[in-house]
Amino acid sequence: MHRYIITRLLLALPTLAGAAALVFILMRLIPGDVCVIRLGSGGAHLNQDALDLCHKQLGLDQPIVVQFLTYLKNLALFDFGISMWSGNPVWQEILLRLPVSLEVAILATVIAILLAIPLGTLSALKENSALDHVVRVLAIAGIATPSFWLGIMSLILVLNVSAAITGSPWLPPIDYVPLWKDPLYNLSIVLLPAITVGYRYSAVTMRLTRSAMLEVMREDYIRTARAKGLLEQIVVNRHALKNALLPVVTLIGIEFAFLIGGLVVTEQVFNLNGIGRLLVQAVQNQDNVLAQALVMLVVLVFVIVNLVVDLLYAWLDPRIRYS
């Protein structure tokens, strides 16, 4: 097992290097100049000397090959540099916003798991029943509903309900407070976005759980377990559900990694200052250094999540062994 983990981590290095090269090239294919945006943001006249000085300070006057080699060297040293737009260290910009995205992603994943796996399993066990039809409608509605519309509707619902109960409308606070400092205040900020994202997240997982359970329940070893006189609960939990969860765990891992940097619309609707919103701002401001660091962060999360999912396979299915 330890050899497998080390091998997977070593194989992740070419993946990270390829992603670094790809994002470096793509960021420089985007038209525009960060120095022009910085110097001309206030409507001032652009001076060529000031523009050349800005390029020199940011290292943009060097050949593209030198810029790439410098970028790889700094990346190997975990030095993500200074933001071209704000002038702050990139790590500082990321650490200010990562807790918000990470907390919403974790809460949304927990909510999705608590909704999708039980409902998907019950839907498969009660195939073509009223419960099955209700679960399938909920799943299809979650997949079909746009995330921005669902977020706006949830805010309107909270406004109307709070106004009807207390007499004054209530909205989630804007300024983020860590969970360990004020848990109630923190949950009032992230709980509604997490529920919104978790519902849409659970819709896909619910349908996959249902289809996987239906397939597993028709296998020969399930009939054999029933013929041996095992309780239905043991048949479902020990023999069927564990095997059906293999593709579900893969989907959950991929969705969780996506949530770290892919909640752009949700963060915009709920006014959350997260990683996805920061990435959009970095691209708009031509901040190559910050955008590259954020993309590499998301790639690193995907690599780690894929490794964790592969390790979970061995726990769910004893036939899988890593040597």
Nearest 5 degrees, angle CA 226-CA 229-CA 235?
Answer: 45
Quick check: helix, strand or coil at residue 82? strand
**Over residues 42-54, mean pLDDT:** 69
Q: How confident is the model at residue 42 (pLDDT cuts 50, 70, 90)?
A: low
The b/e string for 136-146 (b: 16+ C-beta within 10 A; e otherwise) is: bebbeebeeee
Q: How confident is the model at residue 3 (pLDDT cuts 50, 70, 90)?
A: confident
Q: Which residues, 6+ apart, have CB-to-CB distance to 268 below 8 Å? A: 148, 277
Neighbour tally for 167: CB within 10 Å: 7
**Are the C-beta atoms of 280 and 265 separated by less than 8 Å?**
no
CATH architecture of the domain 94-316 equals Orthogonal Bundle (1.10)
CA separation for the pair 142, 151 (Å, rounded): 12
pLDDT digits (tens, 9 = 90+) for 165-211: 887 787 777 777 888 888 888 888 888 889 988 998 899 999 999 99
- Residue 275 C-alpha from the chain's centroid: 10
pLDDT confidence of residue 114: 93
pLDDT digits (tens, 9 = 90+) for 20-39: 888 888 877 777 777 776 66
- Phi then psi for 256, rounded to 5 degrees? -65, -45
Domain limits, the chain: 2-76, 94-316
**Over residues 139-151, mean pLDDT:** 86
What percentage of the chain carries pLDDT values higher than 70?
A: 94
pLDDT confidence of residue 113: 92
Q: How confident is the model at residue 134 (pLDDT cuts 50, 70, 90)?
A: very high
CA separation for the pair 315, 293 (Å, rounded): 34
pLDDT digits (tens, 9 = 90+) for 81-133: 888 777 788 888 888 888 888 899 999 999 999 999 999 999 988 888 898 89
Quick check: helix, strand or coil at residue 299? helix
**Are the C-beta atoms of 286 and 34 separated by less than 8 Å?**
yes
Neighbour tally for 278: CB within 10 Å: 26
Residue type, 215: E
Report DSSP state, residue 77: T
Quick check: helix, strand or coil at residue 89? strand
Whether pTM > 0.95 for this model: the answer is: no
